[in-house]
Structure 1
């Protein structure tokens, strides 16, 4: 049941005019949270199964931003599939990141709705589907169906009143608590986190907006309605682990 309407408001990280220091501050916080909480490790089994089904060892990650969960997720996946590799892509790529063995960043732009033919493999999106309006999100899924490749989208945020209320109460204290774990330590990070708390407020705004943008399971059913050409099938659900709930959508071609 959708208790909150889906609102496609703006996120600061989507804005080209956001000062680089503030962008870096928000991104570094998100990095350390993913690295410490490792919410997506439990998805490795599903990804390994998709690789086996597709007969490939390659994952093409869409809208990768600055790396997403792959620093911790790929080592877990490679315990199940020692040859697994990930190609990170983005419309505005940021190569040169510190990535685990088996991962590399494509340095040319990739539109998630029109993937270059040479980029073959299982497609993934982590915390990315909500950045697309419904027509664009459906185009991302349609391209996978047309090319008959598996695709998996994962969202940690939820569009619910309790989740938004928890964010309003906890996000700022969490930013304050995780910031000392971020390396390297920078004077500007401490300034804009504690003395002038711009970074915590940016994280809070973007987190709440992400929640309002998130597609609920019912929305995902609507997005995939009619996308079943030649036996292509969809499976969605919610994975619960470590006190977190991850909504996932997995599409795969028929035999």
Structure 2
């Protein structure tokens, strides 16, 4: 699937009810965590941390923090030392962030104020990451995110948990309605609103199916990511894109960027 359509996702809309957005993001976090969907990204993240001499990740566009707990733990194991993570978003999901902070013993923290990925304050340090969110941005904003990282000489890793295929789209419509109904009672933190808007008034499942479809159509291919990155103006900065991982739920499209010499 090489096409990219800039359609709209419900969760991007300011008018979209926060309780529904939150329920959709909680489901995404649950599935990414259970599938360990970003396992293939670990060597790339390790490379970024080692190249930058850092042990801290600042996650942009965190949503509900899907998969970040497993990533934080597994990176620590690979590097044989603790790795910390700061979550951030333009619309912070504070309930999910507090849950992750408590369950991680403080290894994962968060910024409660909105953070714009196209203009990250200089005071925010660490290797930048964006998981399952870069496709939300049209090309001009996507380029601005890359330019902001390159201009500030910050290493960045962009990861989309998909291969971008028609088979994935088919599985979304055939399997996900059943999966949503089965797993919703097990998603934490528990919320009555999530049950209501899943089983009685199924706005969360409908939102997941719509946004999931649009997400697959909006994801940038590795070639498109590389072209955008090549337009970022910054000296001594390297970009690399591609696909990693095999098997259902294990495919990752990625773009990583890092300064060749990092000021420490």
| TM-score higher than 0.5 | yes
Which residue does the alignment assign to 1:72? 70
What's the CA shift for 1:108?
2.1
1:22 Cα deviation after fit: 2.4
Match of 2:158 among 144, 153, 156: 153
Q: Distance in 1 between matches of 2:176 and 2:66?
A: 19
Q: Indicate how the Cα distance of structure 1 residues 112 and 185 shifts in structure 2: closer, same or farther if over 3 A, else same.
A: closer
CA–CA distance in structure 2, aligned partners of residues 121 and 71 of structure 1: 17
Higher RCO, 1 vs 2 (CA within 8 Å, ≥6 residues apart): 2
Give the gaps of 5 or more residues in structure 2.
none
1:212 matched residue in structure 2: 217
Moved over 6 A (4+): none
- 1:183 to 1:225, Cα distance in 2 relative to 1, 3 A: closer
Q: Is the Cα–Cα contact under 8 Å of residues 154 and 248 in structure 1 kept in the other structure?
A: yes
Structure 2 counterparts to residues 52-201 of structure 1, below 5 A: 52-81=50-79, 82-95=81-94, 96-99=97-100, 100=104, 101-183=106-188, 188-201=193-206
Instruction: Tell me, yes or no, if the aligned pair for 2:161 and 2:252 is still in contact at 8 Å.
Output: yes
CA deviations on 1:83-108 (whole Å, 9 max, x unpaired) are 31111111222335212242110122
Q: Secondary structure at the match of 1:176?
A: helix
Aligned residue pairs total 253
| Distance (Å, rounded) in 2 between the aligned partners of 1:192 and 1:218 | 39
Structure 1 CA distance, aligned partners of 2:254 and 2:166?
20
Q: Is this contact kept in 1: 2:83–2:107, CA < 8 A? A: yes
Q: CA deviation at 1:24?
A: 3.2
The TM-score with structure 1 as length reference comes to 0.90
1:20–1:107 Cα change, 3 Å: closer
Counterpart Cα distance in 2 of 1:62 and 1:198: 26
Does residue 41 in structure 1 map to residue 39 in structure 2? Answer: yes
Deviation of 1:188 after TM superposition, in Å, equals 4.6
- Per the normalisation by structure 2, the TM-score is 0.87
Q: Give the 3-state SS of the residue equivalent to 1:97 in structure 2.
A: helix
Aligned residue in 2 for 1:249: 255
Verify the 8 A CA contact 2:172 2:213 in the aligned structure 1.
yes
Please give the alpha-carbon distance, in whole angstroms, between the structure 1 residues aligned to 2:202 and 2:108.
34
Q: Of residues 202, 211, 219 in structure 1, which corresponds to 2:207?
A: 202
Give the gaps of 5 or more residues in structure 1. none
